[in-house]
Structure 1
């Protein structure tokens, strides 16, 4: 669902947190195509060979990088967002896809090709925690991290070969971090929940229903139904009496 934020509620928040202001349309919306690919991989819908899939991922990263630069984000913000996207794509491909040349991807993942390092599983969470501790963090970047985690990125919390207790421990820590991130975002942008405001002078009938309790509405409906029943009952009695009086008398 597309959210429409009110300028009236968001403006004071931007002034209070200059580092948290949006640049362009934010970062989260730029991950739309990445989310589609990851969702397709999770559903097992990819049938492309490894080289085609790699080309698609590289295109997504290139487009994401260009869009971030076009919207004027600082170099450190762009790098953090790109590395998080890259780690998500690598993990999704290796975890969900059925590519034949899996060993080649494992030996040369996207993060090595793009950044020359292989630590996205740890680095993404370390950078996220550092960003969350900042006095005035970039909220767009935090929302980007929230989207990456929402798409299933586990990184160091995956424990694919660990025991069930270690898997549960990793999931618990990851869930706690997601909850802390959500709380941080809520504190930074409390007005975002008021998504759409319509200013109107006339009060409509529907507005009164929001002020009446459900029991009041039910009682009103019962009274209305009883009145309708009585009115129709009298009308039917009158109609029946008219038909009886106008009908010819029956002969014995």
Structure 2
């Protein structure tokens, strides 16, 4: 299994649960579980071979994504989360919707032979594909967002096309982000680019994990 998948999958599980807030029985318990996973992400990334800065960037992307998903739908989950932002706890800021893209721009400037940076870029691209919009959430700059997605695709396509054991490209079956601009080309490209473990069958993999996580949380098991 690709190392990025192993490092990030449990945090993405939490985001999937938060994306359906009506199914969250105990938001405080889910928040504590998310905190535990975020706490372990940086160490897991270091263990997987990433340097300190890249491990921090992985953690940043996941924190920004989880915070946005948790606040996306008005209700008890969003009301709780706004007072318990992960970005405030871990990065002492509330501007992850903007700074996510600052970090993304740096990753886009990485050398094409910098495997670690490109792995981190996959995490940021996955967040975008699964619905993260940050400063673009108001759709005031759709063209800018589409152009950014194109650049991400261009940066990753050559590398991922050379991955050993790539399965045939498959159309993603999960629900597409509700806050979209004209992303038809981006969606098709990203489905191909991430036909490795991160996105090929990603929804079913994570949905199963998220279901198991929900069961454990209901039973009070971390």
Superposition TM-score, scaled by structure 2 size: 0.65
**8 Å contact from structure 1 (residues 158, 170) kept in 2:** no
Give the alignment partner of residue 181 of structure 1, picking from 152, 155, 170: 152
**8 Å contact from structure 1 (residues 38, 92) kept in 2:** yes
The 3-state SS of whatever aligns with 1:27 is helix
Counterparts in 2 of 1:190-205, with a 5 A limit? 190-192=161-163, 195=166
Pairing 1:127–2:75 present = no
Gaps of 5+ in 2: 168-222
CA distance in 2 between partners of 1:95 and 1:101 (Å) = 7
Q: CA RMSD in A?
A: 2.5
CA distance in 2 between partners of 1:33 and 1:85 (Å) = 10
CA distance in 2 between partners of 1:90 and 1:122 (Å) = 13
CA distance in 2 between partners of 1:155 and 1:80 (Å) = 16
Gaps of 5+ in 1: 3-24, 160-166, 197-252
**8 Å contact from structure 2 (residues 54, 120) kept in 1:** yes
Q: Please list every run of at least 4 consecutive aligned residues from structure 1 whose deviation after the TM superposition is greater than 6 angstroms.
A: none
Q: 1:96 to 1:34 in 2, by over 3 A?
A: farther
**8 Å contact from structure 2 (residues 21, 77) kept in 1:** no
Superposition TM-score, scaled by structure 1 size: 0.58
**Cα deviation, residue 194, structure 1:** 5.5
Q: Select the structure of larger CA radius of gyration.
A: 1
The 3-state SS of whatever aligns with 1:144 is helix
Q: 1:67 to 1:125 in 2, by over 3 A?
A: same
Give the alignment partner of residue 61 of structure 1, picking from 10, 22, 38: 38
Counterparts in 2 of 1:109-148, with a 5 A limit? 109-136=85-112, 137=114, 138-148=117-127
